Chain A
Amino acid sequence: MIRRFGLLRPLAALAMLLTAGAVAAGGAAAPSYALDPGKSTLAFAFVQAGGHNQGRFPKFAVNFSFADDNLAASHLEVTVDIAALDSGDKERDDTLREADLFNVAKFPQARFTAAQITKTGAGAYRQDAHQAARLRRRSGRLEIHRMGGQ
């Protein structure tokens, strides 16, 4: 999630631990993975009046199907509960939720979806993505690095 608004310039990073789930019935070639919420983090960083700050989105859901040999059928979707954001300070969290920033009263969720995953190297992939949050749609790219053995 990359947003630019006034003095706030947030950037987000997602670290997920995913475990392979059952292959969907019907013989789809890309197995779906389940998120381990306790071991996954969706963090954001922002600059406010020259000060660098960090926070987390503790509530998010991931819909991820992936097969190295079938990237066309692979797919990632992340849905973020923006209202649950946590920057470590209640007053600052309330400010981030206000109408001129995340406007959670009107847009409580952000969704990151993508259709095309491209292999960029051994264990590295790029996903051309777009993100719908608030009124605007953004296009972006997500770098994916595969860690672990499975």
Chain B
Amino acid sequence: MQVRNTTARWGSVAQFLHWLIVALIITQVILALSAEQLHGMAKLAMLARHKSVGITILMLALVRLAWRLINPTPPLPLTLKPYERFLANFTHAALYVLIFALPITGWIMSSARGFPVSWFSLFQLPDLVTKNRPLYEAMQETHEALAWTLGAVALLHLLGALKHHFVLKDTVLRRMLPFSKIP
């Protein structure tokens, strides 16, 4: 498999970034739900992991967007109906927006609460805003709403991929799978 994308399939870098971010988003859900069950030091430690993984996703999102912009994008099949084409473009755009918006709202939320964000205790990131309780509360609600939105859009994305593979029987799913053969 090629490193760079071709018009027929995603290259290894794009695939690696896609699947790594999938794994990290699932990790984030687990860490966030675990933190809700805890309190005190254990909760702070779990949230620190959640924030570190979130910053990792933000950095990967930047790399991913840059990589997409300097690579060819495998086009959607020409046989798609207009609504399918719209849904595909909409979900992809929304997913890109969300992998930036979730970490950034989380970071603002932390800063507004007065809890600094560090990346795995290796370095501390600057506060994005000064301490501001109403802003913290607004960001917490936004972060949670965006998380649910990401869940819904990711589900749509998954259903779309399955429809391409099992109903439309095209290569759209396989071209993002590392070990698949594309004729």
Nearest neighbor of B115 in chain A, beta-carbon distance: A51
List residues of B (109-151) whose CB comes within 8 Å of A's CBs: 113-124, 131
B124 touches A51 (CB 8 A): yes
Given A88-B131, A95-B40, the answer on whether A51 and B45 have CB atoms closer than 8 Å is no
Query: Which range contains the number of A residues in contact with the other chain?
Result: 10 to 19
A51 touches B131 (CB 8 A): no
List residues of A (96-143) whose CB comes within 8 Å of B's CBs: 98, 100-101
A20 within 8 A of B: no
B119 touches A50 (CB 8 A): yes
Given A50-B48, A88-B131, the answer on whether A98 and B118 have CB atoms closer than 8 Å is no
A52 touches B116 (CB 8 A): yes
A51 touches B48 (CB 8 A): yes
Given A50-B124, A52-B124, A98-B41, the answer on whether A89 and B114 have CB atoms closer than 8 Å is yes
Q: Which residues of B contact A98 (CB under 8 A)?
A: 40-41
Bound complex: CA A100 to CA B38 (Å): 15
B44 within 8 A of A: yes
Bound complex: CA A52 to CA B121 (Å): 10
Given A7-B44, A101-B41, the answer on whether A49 and B121 have CB atoms closer than 8 Å is yes
- Give per-residue flags for B21-63: 1 if the beta carbon is below 8 A from chain A beta carbons, else 0: 0000000000000000001110111001000000000000000
Q: Which residues of B contact A6 (CB under 8 A)?
A: 41
Q: Which residues of B contact A100 (CB under 8 A)?
A: 40-41
- Give per-residue flags for A28-40: 1 if the beta carbon is below 8 A from chain B beta carbons, else 0: 0000000000000
Bound complex: CA A21 to CA B130 (Å): 41
A53 within 8 A of B: yes
Bound complex: CA A100 to CA B41 (Å): 9
Within the complex, the shortest CB–CB distance from B113 to chain A, in Å, comes to 7
B118 touches A50 (CB 8 A): yes
Q: Which residues of B contact A49 (CB under 8 A)?
A: 44-45, 48, 118, 121
A48 within 8 A of B: yes
B41 touches A50 (CB 8 A): no
Q: Among B39, B45, B123, which residue has its beta carbon within 8 angstroms of that of A7? A: B45
Nearest neighbor of B121 in chain A, beta-carbon distance: A50
The 8 tightest CB contacts between A and B, nearest first, are A50-B118, A49-B48, A50-B121, A51-B116, A95-B40, A51-B118, A98-B40, A88-B114
Give 27 A-B contacts (CB < 8 Å), ordered by A residue: A7-B41, A7-B45, A7-B48, A8-B41, A49-B48, A50-B48, A50-B118, A50-B119, A50-B120, A51-B116, A51-B117, A51-B124, A52-B116, A52-B124, A53-B115, A53-B116, A88-B114, A88-B131, A89-B113, A92-B44, A92-B115, A95-B39, A95-B40, A95-B43, A95-B44, A100-B40, A100-B41
